[in-house]
Structure 1
Amino acid sequence: MSDLAFSSFTLIGVDAQKFLQGQVTLNAEALPENVTRYTAICSLKGRIQFGLWLKKLNPESFEIVTTQDQAEEFSKHIKKFGAFSKMKLEQAAQVFPTLNGETTDFATAETDINAWQIQAIEAGQAWISATTAELFQPQELRLHQREGVHYDKGCYIGQEIIARLWFKAKPKAWLHLVLGGGDVPAPATQLSNSVQVVNSIALDDTYKALVVAKPDALAELSLTVLALPESLNGDVARPQ
């Protein structure tokens, strides 16, 4: 049985969209209705503090899912920063994931979370939990290739650092899918100085993991690098 679990929230009110626009890395105003996208709220240092599956029902009503171990801190964050906004955050129910093409949808009907983890890892759909909070920048997780970051949307927490990395530099390490042998390394584990686990799942005698790594450092470890889906296989740098 997986320890991973998910909590859903509703954010409702006339200021909901405006508030989210100043918090998350994607363009909440341009987000299509009834489509779930994975996005992030970052720290001032530009690292992902909370990972969110965000669905807009309309500009005054959003459904938000976090890992259960981030739910309490996420709720505190929204209530702190949104104290003067006309909106209300309410925790709904425990929900269960289903992979749906290039995203994940959630419902109250129970699904096999272990099966979802394997599918999500193979699809490059990295997610953040309490263990990995504030370790990775959005670009390192290829979040922009999942429509989870927009670089032309205006200010949000950590935006200055995230935009600078995009327009003036390139991450030294970024997301890869690997197959390894032996015990499965836990999220946040450093496999070397330049390889860190984001998500991992045990298979029979092996494991699969999403890692943020320098490509050269991967070659030094006894890991097989597997292909990510085409949409996540390109260079993470800004096209020149």
Structure 2
Amino acid sequence: MPTSNLAQAVFIEGPDAVAFAHSQFTSQVSALPNGQWQFSSWLDAQGRVRAVFHLARLAEERLLLLLRGGDAASFAEALQRFVFRSRVRLSVANTSTLGSGAALPMHIVDADGDVIRLGCGSHSLQFGTDVVDDDAWRLAQLRAGWPWLPADALNESLPPALSLHRLGGIALDKGCYPGQEIVARLHYRGGNKRHLHRVELSRAVAEGSMLRRGDREFVRLLNVISNEERIEALAVITDDIASSIMQSSENTSDNGVVVQLLDTWSD
């Protein structure tokens, strides 16, 4: 995980903010009420996930995208190319930090002055210039299967591999958006062979690492957290390799990292 909790966030504002976001992102943005947030993502034309984020509707014409990995300035620059004639303004929050707050119901947004709180059930995710930087929220969200994408894992996975359907971040009943045809084909015709897992590692490994076994992909690690009890990570693993790990027949990478499955999430 990043050593600093400097938030990577983008504001989308203007009369066309919601319509523009609805046409670009995978969630049902137009149905999001003021004062709530949803998981969402932005895909490339091949359906690969460019970014995952909390999408909060702060007002009728104001959205907040709190990125779960990646760089906000690069994201905003890439997104700006699709604005064309839409009446929207993109701006990057350069000085806000992330921290943990008191419990708040899932998907609720509470804005108090400079601080914006996103309800995550057992806790809230606080965002703002006056927020105390802490990591207390990270382990709870890892164990809930909320993916965080390190730089090495961007533009790589399809939405089912990150369990974005389960999180409500994929809408199948809306108009076109980048990668929509791939998403629909995978959902209705099948073919996805990679899923999200929570794993325990025998030793610390850098987040975003690709563990290999016998010169083939073994486990793609996303976020990795070391705590007092164990080293845990979210990982994308093909179904056949996950089956072998579960049976303990092939659970060690070429560089000696032993992997144990703790949780598995379907599409």
TM-score, normalising length: structure 1: 0.86
Give the secondary structure class of the aligned counterpart of 1:143.
coil
Q: Equivalent residue for 1:45?
A: 46
Paired amino acid for 1:213: I
> Which 10-residue stretch deviates more, 162-171 or 183-192?
183-192
Structure 1: 5+ residue stretches without partners? none
Could you say which structure has the higher helix fraction? 1
User: Alpha carbons of 1:103 and 1:130: their partners in 2 closer, same or farther (altered >3 Å)?
Assistant: farther
- Structure 2 CA distance, aligned partners of 1:86 and 1:2? 36
- Structure 1 CA distance, aligned partners of 2:152 and 2:228? 24
1:196/1:212 contact within 8 Å kept = yes
Structure 2: 5+ residue stretches without partners? 101-118, 252-257
Q: Equivalent residue for 2:125?
A: 105
Give the secondary structure class of the aligned counterpart of 2:90.
strand
Q: Equivalent residue for 1:150?
A: 171
1:137 and 2:158 equivalent?
yes
Determine which of 176, 192, 205 is the counterpart of 1:171. Answer: 192
1:181/1:205 contact within 8 Å kept = no
User: Alpha carbons of 1:181 and 1:64: their partners in 2 closer, same or farther (altered >3 Å)?
Assistant: same
Determine which of 227, 233, 237 is the counterpart of 2:263. Answer: 227
Determine which of 213, 219, 236 is the counterpart of 2:237. Answer: 213
- Structure 2 CA distance, aligned partners of 1:102 and 1:163? 33
User: Alpha carbons of 1:212 and 1:68: their partners in 2 closer, same or farther (altered >3 Å)?
Assistant: closer
The Cα shift of 1:69 comes to: 4.4
Give the secondary structure class of the aligned counterpart of 2:81.
helix
Q: How many residues align?
A: 230
TM-score, normalising length: structure 2: 0.78
1:178/1:208 contact within 8 Å kept = yes
User: Alpha carbons of 1:67 and 1:178: their partners in 2 closer, same or farther (altered >3 Å)?
Assistant: closer
User: Alpha carbons of 1:194 and 1:173: their partners in 2 closer, same or farther (altered >3 Å)?
Assistant: farther
Describe the superposition over 1:189-233 as per-residue Cα deviations: whole angstroms up to 9, x where unpaired. 2344242112111234741010111244131213221136xxxx4
Aligned residues: percent identity? 26
CA RMSD of aligned residues (A): 2.3
The Cα shift of 1:162 comes to: 1.3
Describe the superposition over 1:80-101 as per-residue Cα deviations: whole angstroms up to 9, x where unpaired. 1114210111223423043722
1:179/1:223 contact within 8 Å kept = yes
- Structure 2 CA distance, aligned partners of 1:137 and 1:52? 15
Q: Which has the higher Rg, Structure 1 or Structure 2? A: 2
The Cα shift of 1:75 comes to: 1.2
1:11/1:90 contact within 8 Å kept = yes
1:181 and 2:182 equivalent?
no
Describe the superposition over 1:110-141 as per-residue Cα deviations: whole angstroms up to 9, x where unpaired. 2412x322221111111224321111111111
